[in-house]
A and B are shown apart, each in its own frame.
Chain A
Amino acid sequence: KQEVTQIPAALSVPEGENLVLNCSFTDSAIYNLQWFRQDPGKGLTSLLLIQSSQREQTSGRLNASLDKSSGRSTLYIAASQPGDSATYLCAVYNNNDMRFGAGTRLTVKP
């Protein structure tokens, strides 16, 4: 059974800092990996999707990498802003279901 782990569980940084969120998964037979943002009491917003054949994806200040063989992905956020404060979820997709990590709660202080 696929298990997804995210480290750290919480992170607090000053505005402007670059940061890395980590995700690991136990079964490398994945179709893709998706990073989401979740604001308190709200739904999930997709940030980036990496297909299993890809190594990375970029969108603005966000860059996600995937190392399928080692079961790892990272989300890099450049020049963090207070508006980036949210919980970031990693999810792996295979066989029509998606398994989520518990998330990293990010706080960016002005």
Chain B
Amino acid sequence: EPEVTQTPSHQVTQMGQEVILRCVPISNHLYFYWYRQILGQKVEFLVSFYNNEISEKSEIFDDQFSVERPDGSNFTLKIRSTKLEDSAMYFCASTTERGGTQYFGPGTRLTVL
């Protein structure tokens, strides 16, 4: 069964460094999402992406964040200058249609020191 994959599974970085989290959505899916979950807290929506542009973004998704689908298969989340509070689990999800069942990847645990 097709699945969403994410790399790396765990990323450790120093405060102020740039990180890129990578996701490979299910191949025929058209809508892509990033979420984060700070340890012990709710899953929070970051951004949705369709037709090579951002559809919606939350208040969390500020100028430090960007997303890209560089080659038709990968979907990336970049954090330009990481802060301690960016430490969280980051999940990618994809779906075939707007409002369809979202399929989540296993997540990338980001630790900012």
Per-position contact with B for A11-32: 1 when CB-CB < 8 Å, else 0?
A: 0000000000000000000011
Per a CB cutoff under 8 Å, which of A32, A42, A97, A103 touches B48? A97
Q: In the complex, are the beta carbons of B106 and A34 less than 8 A apart?
A: no
Q: Looking at chain A's contact residues, is the secondary structure mostly helix, strand, loop, or mixed?
A: strand
CA distance A51 to B101 in the complex (A): 10
User: In this assembly, does B44 line the interface, its C-beta being within 8 Å of a C-beta of chain A?
Assistant: yes
Q: How far is the CB of B24 from chain A (nearest CB, A)?
A: 14
CA distance A45 to B101 in the complex (A): 10
The 10 closest A-B pairs by CB, nearest first: A96-B56, A100-B43, A44-B104, A96-B55, A43-B104, A96-B48, A43-B106, A97-B45, A31-B99, A97-B56
A binding-site residues for B, Cβ under 8 Å: 31-32, 34, 36, 42-46, 49, 51, 89, 91, 93, 95-103
Chain A to chain B contacts (Cβ below 8 Å), 26 pairs: A31-B99, A34-B101, A34-B102, A36-B104, A42-B107, A43-B104, A43-B106, A44-B43, A44-B91, A45-B104, A46-B104, A49-B100, A89-B43, A93-B99, A95-B56, A96-B48, A96-B56, A96-B98, A97-B45, A97-B58, A98-B33, A98-B45, A99-B45, A100-B43, A102-B41, A102-B42
